[in-house]
Structures are given as C-alpha cells and as structure tokens.
Amino acid sequence: VGPTVVTRFSRGGKTRMLKEIAKQLRAAKIPVLPITFNDETSLDPKESSSRTLIESILLRIGWSAAKNETIEAVGKELGKEVVNFGVWVGAVSVTEEVILQWLGDRPCVLMIDELNQLLKKKTPYVEGSPEAIVAAYLKTNWLGQ
C-alpha cells in the first residue's frame, strides 16, 4: 500500500473514509495500525509542552499496537483499574526500539488521522527540526525509503 494523503473540507468524511479503508484492509488480512490526533487521543496542551513531536507520534503508535495485557500491566503498576490514553501518556515512554520490538519486521499499514494537529508549523522545512525528525521517522520506518 503506497503513501496516500486525504484532504478535504472540515466535516468532509476523511476520518470515516480512513476507517472504511482500514476495514477493507483488515478484510484482506493486511494488518492496520490506526492512530489519530483527535477524539480520545487528541493532542492536549500538557502533552504538547512535555513531549516532543516524535514522542507524541510514538505514544499513539504504541497505544494502538499495545496488547490488552500491556495496558492492564500499566494500570496495575499505577494502581488504576482503567487506563485511558491520558493515563498512558503520563505513565509510559514509547521509543522507536519499543515499536520495532512489538511489531517486528511484519509489514503493516500505518494510518494517521489529523496529523495536521501535530505538525502545525507553517515555516519552511529545516533539517533537524522536530517536524523533520517526525518526517524522517515515518519515511524510514513506514515507507521503507
């Protein structure tokens, strides 16, 4: 599955379309890892001030990839019965190495909804910037280039 960008007006059905594509991919036995910067996993000011851009994307990949046992273990460690994404962000650190360990070299499709909520900067591309680090990670680890 090649890289694709979906753009449209607000309330134009982009999220719904991504969910339907994911459903079709799963039906074809293609693993899908959906993440979003909206709804339950929206980017809040506390996270924005305490995490780097790459950490924010890795936290969501980890949340999507984590098995129930992993999430339950985090809850047990914290003494919480329910672990939502807000608890996850405050309690864990997810690195590129952790993602590689969890996913291995099995191919899967990463679907990112509302990436514009993370990468809002409107300045030109600067090598080494937080945005460039995210772009390099996605290109290297998810596009195979």
Q: Which tens digits make up the pLDDT trace of 5-17?
A: 877 777 778 899 9
Overall domain count for the chain: 1
- Would residue 4 count as lying in a domain? no
Residue 109 pLDDT:
93
Residue 123 pLDDT:
66
Structure tokens at 107: 């191919």
Residues near 16 by Cβ (< 8 Å), separated by ≥ 6?
A: none
Residue 11 pLDDT:
79
Using only C-alpha atoms, the chain has a radius of gyration, in whole angstroms, of 16
Residue 122 pLDDT:
67
- Would residue 106 count as lying in a domain? yes
Whole-prediction pTM value? 0.88
- Would residue 3 count as lying in a domain? no
Domain that holds residue 60: 14-142
| Alpha-carbon span 102 to 60, nearest angstrom | 14
| Alpha-carbon span 145 to 140, nearest angstrom | 5
| Alpha-carbon span 119 to 121, nearest angstrom | 6
DSSP three-state, residue 33:
strand
Low-confidence stretches of the chain (pLDDT beneath 50): none
